[in-house]
Structure 1
Amino acid sequence: MEICGNEEALQKVDTALFCLSLDDFPIKDFVHLSHTMLHGDGANRWYDKSFNLIIAKDGTAGINFEHSWGDGVAVLRFQNEVFKDSTKVPAVSPQSQPASVDSSRAVQKLDFKLNDALKAGITKAKQKFDASVESLSIDMIQFHEGGKELLKQKKVSPDAVVQLAFQMAFLRQYNQTVATYESCSTAAFKHGRTETIRPASIHTKKCSEAFVRELSKHSTEELQKLIVECSKYHGRLTKEAAMGQGFDRHLFGLRYLAQSKGIALPDFYQDQAYARLNYNIISTSTLVSPAVQLGGFGPVVPDGYGVGYQVHDDWIGCNVSSYPTRNGKEFLQCIHKSLENIFSVLKGKKVGS
């Protein structure tokens, strides 16, 4: 593009702090909202920018952010500030008069010079983009039979319970346990980014099998104990990850150093178990804030699920993305059933299979 004389226009895009995308349509529902903020039609987004601030015709706003420079914690901080300012001390209101600014001078259209090769490349990229978007499904549920308050009252970790529900759901749907990823912020450290929590453990496997395969063999008290075990272990993993005691980033750092220095990778990295561990079929992330209605992302592998979730005081929200090899709607039904069973057991009720 630079060869065709677009250097100046590209420089302006490159030096901009972020991209403001104005969509000329209202948002229909949460699924439409998710698709719009996650990908849109690709025509008025610049995905390589630090973030795209997207505003629909009805004023619904969202952020699509590029992940290499930072994480959800930083973006959420920005979002919270914008939400607070725009709701508590708004600079404009429906009664505001238009500013006396000549917009033709304040706003400048960037014209790109395109030759036939560039036009063909753009057409091909758009076709590829459309095909990828076409194959992406997004589904969601809201579970209203309890949330953070009840779980804390029962002395179990809300995050552990939701992660356990994902494990139970996958076992119910596919009769197996797979590599699972949960993001944990290491912002306690200077330049800290994230570490991985590994929610699939021997404890969640044992508990999931009891609920899914052997429900009639266990008393309510036994099932409660299994949930508490999962909660304790998950709490330990979370603390370790947050304080830099996880293993994923450590192993990644060593692998990266070996590769950058041209050293042969140790056998450990060639092991099939290491490859499977890093093929995360269930990838999960959570952020809760009054400024956020929902959040989500695409699956990180072709046959995976991208799970964005929020645990509120009295309800739990879950947003799942998938490609055609997986059935996201069915997975969510299994999550809902798992949450129902877990909450019933914690309330001391007998669960029917």
Structure 2
Amino acid sequence: MASLLSLHCVAYLRISGFHLRTAALGINKRNYSSKKEFSTEYLSQSEGPSMHYQNSLPRLPIPKLEDTVRRYLAAQRPLLDDEQFRTTEKIAHDFQNGVGKQLQEELVAQDNNNTHTSYISGPWMDMFLFERKSLVLINPFLLLNPDPKTEYNDQLVRATNVVCSAVRFMKTLQTGLQEPKVFHLNPAKSDTNCFESFIRSVPSSLSQPLDMSQYFRLFNSTRIPKRGRDELFTAEKARHLLVMRKGHMYVFDIVDRDGNLVKPAEIQSHLKFILCDPTPAAAFPLGVLTSENRDVWAGLRDKLIAAGNAEDLRIVDSALFCLSLDDESMRDNIHISHNMLHGDGCNRWWDKSFTVILTKDGQAAINFEHSWVDGLPIHSFQKEIFKDTTEQPLVHPGSAAAAVDSASAVRRLQFHLDSELENGIKKAKENFDSIVSTLTIDLLEFKKGGKAQLKKSKLSPDAIAQLAFQMGFLRQYGQTVPTHEACSTAAFRHGRIDTIQSTTIHTKRCSHAFVYQPGQHSVKQLQTMLSECSNYHRQLIKETAMGQGFICHLLALQQLANSKSEFLHSFYTDQAYTAFNLPIIDTSTLNSEVMMLGCFAPFVYDGFTVGYNVFDDRIFCSVTSFLTRNVHEFVQCVHKSLEDIFSVLEGKTLT
């Protein structure tokens, strides 16, 4: 189900009327020896145990099959003509009353026997790990804002502070002091320091927490390529950092034998040593192999092991995380986006759970592998790192690096390559260049209105953004197409992401009215259409966030049928179903105060991806596409659509 690979970089729980905020959580809480140790080793001091809520999380419900089929058909209606819809409707009802009914019973029974997890956790992970496409097309990136103190954006200074803060985050998490995610139904009363102090005694059954089961793979984890299906590997006791520069790989310890952060001045010395290494760029950069088709990479990795590289690969796989130091400065946000999304392919290890990328001018981003995680843990990590590095940095401009023997502490990995492996690297680079040469990126910044005006008009900002994307595509191509938006189900144990089909009969009618018939409708009529789109979108978000979405449910039923080696019902081979799950517009909300931008590559070659943020007074979008679509024209059409929408809200007549 390809559409579900469009997981969004900053997925957050989106239940109407709920406020998401960070509260307090703990795993094996430890005592602190002193305030000094706390300030050096940890990011925060939780008042309550990290996993206080985890066992009380409700289980993700399996929707009724008839509800899923009804929602699926409603989502298909604006995409099909009458004859196509009648065919799809007949197939869907036949599935519901026949094979689907049996699969539903088996899925419910299976779920009842696995109460420790959710019914979608396994199928969701399989969906990623069975995928054979290059991770360059799947890994998203999130760009951190620059440090407000410009002198701290020096590459060495910022890299050192980010590494130190990342270790502090890890120690805070592992010792049970990391704050959990909690819903506040009334933020004015509960989103307070008093509530946080009280949280230890609050019965978990009375709270509204978010699942945190993904966090354990944040550090020391890697996706290992295997033929057919990849595997996830975690080595919790490793203490070293993987650093990449000019295609070379370096390692050194950032945690000492007692589990404490290595002195920041020593980390600074080691990173300075790497940045000053005069070794020319790698002739055969091994990292580019991780951008290959997964089966191809699996075969080449086996050859690497056979050539005597097993131990160095283990070192790479077990590293806390990867830090990529790029020698290039960035020209503008489009240049930044290309660099953080793919770069030249030589200075990345796409398989690592996450990579911090730092350019020569101090631009910092997190590029992450998506099988193990949704946006919440990465967003939490990013937010904490930015806060820590900007508010209490451990090294400063002009700080002297420690007088230590970095030449002995830092090891540059040397891999044994034969002619077959060298040819494999050359071919991987050719394939990488072929992929990214057709990838285009453009940015949109609409400055004539935003969240404040939309809320004043009692409209959902997210619904209006989604409408503008569909309206823009209609204006450009004259079509109504599948538009997908991710929605977190993290309120449930081992919840992941479900997908909202934001193209509806309401958005189709409204888009046609604005694009083709503006003079045939009064301002009041257009405003009413906007309100109908908004209300229906709110309903979709609420249903999906509460575990009543239909795409994950259909995926689980499909994988259950596949596991039985049975012929798939015509429901899953219906052309309408296939097209539905290849979204032409794939969207992600990037709602963060510490993030400049973020994006991901289109999963389909004739599609757009849109990473967007609706601010109080403006709307910002990062759009990607391959050359099969004109991204620049699409951005212009979306901008025009937003202009028309806000003009109508201001009472102006469209002509």
* TM bracket, shorter-chain basis: over 0.9
AA in 2 matched with 1:258: A
- In the other structure, the counterpart of 2:624 is 321
- In the other structure, the counterpart of 2:322 is 19
- In the other structure, the counterpart of 1:256 is 559
Q: Render the CA deviation track for 1:87-139: whole Å, top value 9, x for unaligned.
A: 11111110311123321222211111000000001000001101111111001
- In the other structure, the counterpart of 1:36 is 339
AA in 2 matched with 1:241: T
- In the other structure, the counterpart of 1:148 is 451
Q: Distance in 1 between matches of 2:601 and 2:437?
A: 13
Q: Render the CA deviation track for 1:230-283: whole Å, top value 9, x for unaligned.
A: 000000001111111000000001101111121221221111111111011111
1:113 aligns with 2:402: no
1:294 aligns with 2:597: yes
- In the other structure, the counterpart of 1:200 is 503
AA in 1 matched with 2:471: M
C-alpha displacement of 1:32? 0.5
- Residues matched between the structures, number: 352
Residue 143 of structure 1 contacts residue 315 of structure 1 at CA under 8 Å; is this kept in 2?
yes
Q: 2:359 aligns with which of 32, 52, 56?
A: 56
- In the other structure, the counterpart of 2:494 is 191
1:26-105 maps to which residues of 2 (within 5 A)? 26-105=329-408
Q: 2:582 aligns with which of 273, 279, 302?
A: 279
- In the other structure, the counterpart of 2:305 is 2
Task: Report which stretch shifted further, 98-107 or 251-260.
Answer: 98-107
- In the other structure, the counterpart of 2:427 is 124
AA in 1 matched with 2:613: Q
1:177 aligns with 2:480: yes
- In the other structure, the counterpart of 1:344 is 647
C-alpha displacement of 1:66? 0.9
- Identity, in percent, stands at 57
AA in 2 matched with 1:174: Y
Residue 281 of structure 1 contacts residue 300 of structure 1 at CA under 8 Å; is this kept in 2?
no
AA in 2 matched with 1:78: F
C-alpha displacement of 1:16? 1.5
- In the other structure, the counterpart of 2:544 is 241
Give the SS at the match of 2:502.
Answer: coil
Q: Which runs of 5+ in 1 are unaligned?
A: none
Q: 1:266 aligns with which of 548, 569, 577?
A: 569
Residue 186 of structure 1 contacts residue 195 of structure 1 at CA under 8 Å; is this kept in 2?
yes
Q: Which runs of 5+ in 2 are unaligned?
A: 1-303
What do you get for the CA RMSD once the two structures are aligned? 0.9
Residue 72 of structure 1 contacts residue 287 of structure 1 at CA under 8 Å; is this kept in 2?
no
Q: Render the CA deviation track for 1:14-70: whole Å, top value 9, x for unaligned.
A: 112321100012111000010011001111100011111100111110011111111
AA in 2 matched with 1:239: K
Residue 23 of structure 1 contacts residue 54 of structure 1 at CA under 8 Å; is this kept in 2?
yes
Give the SS at the match of 1:244.
Answer: helix
Residue 285 of structure 1 contacts residue 307 of structure 1 at CA under 8 Å; is this kept in 2?
yes
- In the other structure, the counterpart of 2:467 is 164
Give the SS at the match of 2:485.
Answer: strand
Q: Distance in 1 between matches of 2:623 and 2:372?
A: 24
AA in 2 matched with 1:155: K
- In the other structure, the counterpart of 1:223 is 526
Q: 2:514 aligns with which of 162, 187, 211?
A: 211
Higher relative contact order (CA 8 A, sep 6+): 2
Q: Distance in 1 between matches of 2:475 and 2:404?
A: 60
Give the SS at the match of 1:139.
Answer: strand
AA in 2 matched with 1:31: I
Q: Distance in 1 between matches of 2:524 and 2:451?
A: 21
Q: Distance in 2 between matches of 1:231 and 1:101?
A: 61
Q: Distance in 2 between matches of 1:107 and 1:159?
A: 48
